[in-house]
Structure 1
Amino acid sequence: MKVVVIGSTGHVGGFLVPRLVEAGHEVVAVSRGASEPYRPHAAWSQVTRLLLDRDAGDADGTFAPAIAALEADVVVDLICFTPDSARLMVDALRGSGTVLVHCGTIWVHGPSAEVPVTEEARRTPSGEYGTQKAEIERMLLAESRRPGGVRSVVLHPGHITGPGWPMINAVGNLDLSVWEALAAGREIAMPGLGLETVHHVHADDVAQAFQLAVERHAQAAGESFHVVSERAITLRGLAQAIARHYGQEARLRFVSWPEFREQTTAEFGDASWEHASRSHSMSIDKARRVLGYAPRYTTVQAVVEGLDWLEREGRLTIA
């Protein structure tokens, strides 16, 4: 198939584009700039590169028609964040037969009730990011089920993890000093009881799911799927696993949320609350059944690989 990947040089695209090339697909990689993919791979020599600025193109109405003009079998959209942008793409693709595979987020779900959370669970999204992604999903799936509408598949990744960038830590934020303290056996302050959950996923497992959605779009069109590791992990469980990885025992001091906020920045405090208050724990039964999705990495394995990269890059100091 001919596959267009929008946002191709980012973390997921860096794994997805080589996967698609190696599977024999013709790939057009769309990105805003001419910088090299963050993850080098020989497969990029077989890819057609196309530079398009989405923000500018959405503003003047040229971006979506330029994508439609490529006449792809499938468009993978990794960087659509607003309903208006999604509508422009649907309007441009309608009637072409092109299938749209959209990147959503588990943040379309609010705080967890019954767990693991299924795709059909009652939605209570909050915050601009989650509510806009939820609105995009509703629009795409309704369009997909309409006669003559654009057939779409929506994938909802969890906390994307692996080499290339910091990942959500054991207190629910991006503070690298938390990892350093766990590796050194130093005490960390953990808000609440540490029983809140986070649900990571390795970027290559996200790429696996997108490849499967591309290749099995006939079965998947009109549906959404969670894309996460096999199991969520509690914050204290993540702290204990990472400390053990470095030969330490986790030293955890459980504190109230006001006390925790006093000890960190407003940014980190807000991020911790956003993750802990949702306590996402998602089911992948539907993705496994329909797509054949089988994550290779556990949460801890994905985090450890990301920590190794951060250390090699000099962004993390492990005693």
Structure 2
Amino acid sequence: MYVKTIVSTYPTAHENSIFRGGSRMRIVVIGGSGHVGTYLIPRLVNAGHYVISVSRGKRQPYQPHQAWNEVEQVAIHRDLAEHEGTFGLQIQELNPDVVIDMICYTPQSAEHLVNALRGRVQHLLVCGTIWIHGRSIQVPTTEEQNRKPFGDYGLQKLRMTSFLLKEARLNKFPVTVLHPGHIVGPGWIPVNPLGNFNPSIFTKLARGEEIVLPTLGMETLHHVHADDVAQVFELALGHWGEVIGEDFHVVSDAAVTLRGYAEMVAFWFGKEANLKCGVGDEWKEGLSEDDIKTSLDHITRSHNCSIQKVKRAFGYQPRYTSFQAIYEALQWLLEQKVIVP
């Protein structure tokens, strides 16, 4: 691969300037060692905040950073603690100014946390998903468009979001929900040009082998680098008045088509994409049932979301295009020999 190396993934002094001169906050990040937390926590530490990372175990972040040496690590098994009715209390006892919840999936979990933090925090930021949208009517999809998700994940996240925004409107609870697209970064496999996570698709493209697309290949995927998601969480902390009671898409500037994605990956390896439009179930050959289900989940939604709202609210500018984010992830897969050209 010979595309120009991407810019550094950690914040500059200018990017951290929104916190300079302000009070140091005590920030609890639930799910801090995950995809986004890997980048978010170093940003918060570098901005001068005291950070507590809450996770189920002692999993290391996807990328090492010296900032993690300054982070307080707290192990809480969320599912068990919620079942016992103690999770919210345990977060409350950490005495946070701000809570960032990266792993809230249901309205019940959201309600449990809100009840524990009511009147006790300056800001709760929760990670949603663009899967709250079903099939697109007009693209790029805006936050204001009707939301008709299908599938349990999208439905639960929409109910969670609706509960949180209602709490902001009716009870003045200081909450913001951010909806990432398909999160990409070094350390894990990105959604591929068939809409699943099978890395062999990248190897085939790298070798110039035939790829059978499930359709004409004009469906879309909307990726976002994990550090750009972290950037928005960080920016939101500095724009309290603009973001309370609001939700925002967090994606790259543009979605990619399946065909265009496949052609770009092949180009990176000096090949021309050998693509075929599948007839019937031909595209499913060699894929597992999980791969097929994941592909259908992505292509039936064909996400393509607008970020005009988040740009207007606090000037978000993605540091990565979809292709730049994917390229960086593929570099890591090459180093790990997951892709073997």
What TM-score do you get using the length of structure 2 for normalisation?
0.90
Per-residue deviation at 1:47? 1.4
Equivalent position amino acid for 1:250 in 2? A
Task: Check the 8 A contact 1:145/1:151 in 2, yes or no.
Answer: no
Equivalent position amino acid for 2:192 in 1? N
Q: Report the counterpart of residue 78 of structure 1 in structure 2.
A: 102
Counterpart-to-counterpart distance in 2, 1:289 and 1:180: 40
Equivalent position amino acid for 1:189 in 2? V
Task: Check the 8 A contact 2:249/2:305 in 1, yes or no.
Answer: yes
Equivalent position amino acid for 2:320 in 1? Y
Counterpart-to-counterpart distance in 2, 1:216 and 1:49: 27
Counterpart-to-counterpart distance in 2, 1:20 and 1:127: 34
Alignment partner of 1:133 is 2:181: no
Counterpart-to-counterpart distance in 1, 2:214 and 2:59: 40
Per-residue deviation at 1:37? 2.4
Per-residue deviation at 1:262? 4.2
**39, 43, 47: which is aligned to 1:23?**
47
Structure 2 SS opposite 1:156: strand
Q: Report the counterpart of residue 206 of structure 2 in structure 1.
A: 183
Per-residue deviation at 1:263? 4.4
Q: Deviations over 1:263-301 (max 9, x none)?
A: 422211111111111111000001111132111111111
Task: Check the 8 A contact 1:3/1:72 in 2, yes or no.
Answer: yes
Per-residue deviation at 1:81? 1.1
**220, 223, 229: which is aligned to 1:197?**
220
Per-residue deviation at 1:244? 0.8
What TM-score do you get using the length of structure 1 for normalisation?
0.96
Structure 2 SS opposite 1:11: coil
Q: Report the counterpart of residue 290 of structure 2 in structure 1.
A: 267
Task: Check the 8 A contact 2:212/2:282 in 1, yes or no.
Answer: no
Summarize the alignment of residues 202-241 of structure 1 with structure 2, pairs less than 5 Å apart. Answer: 202-241=225-264
Q: Report the counterpart of residue 98 of structure 1 in structure 2.
A: 122
Equivalent position amino acid for 1:121 in 2? Q
Q: What's the C-alpha RMSD, in Å, of the aligned pairs?
A: 1.2
Question: Any gaps of 5 or more consecutive residues in structure 2?
Answer: 1-24
Aligned residues: 317
Counterpart-to-counterpart distance in 2, 1:49 and 1:263: 42
Per-residue deviation at 1:31? 1.1
Counterpart-to-counterpart distance in 2, 1:108 and 1:6: 21
Equivalent position amino acid for 1:81 in 2? Y
Equivalent position amino acid for 2:111 in 1? R
Q: Report the counterpart of residue 177 of structure 2 in structure 1.
A: 154
- The ranges of structure 1 where at least 4 consecutive aligned residues each deviate by more than 4 angstroms after the TM superposition are none
Counterpart-to-counterpart distance in 1, 2:241 and 2:27: 15
Counterpart-to-counterpart distance in 2, 1:257 and 1:60: 49
Question: Any gaps of 5 or more consecutive residues in structure 1?
Answer: none
Seq. identity, % = 49
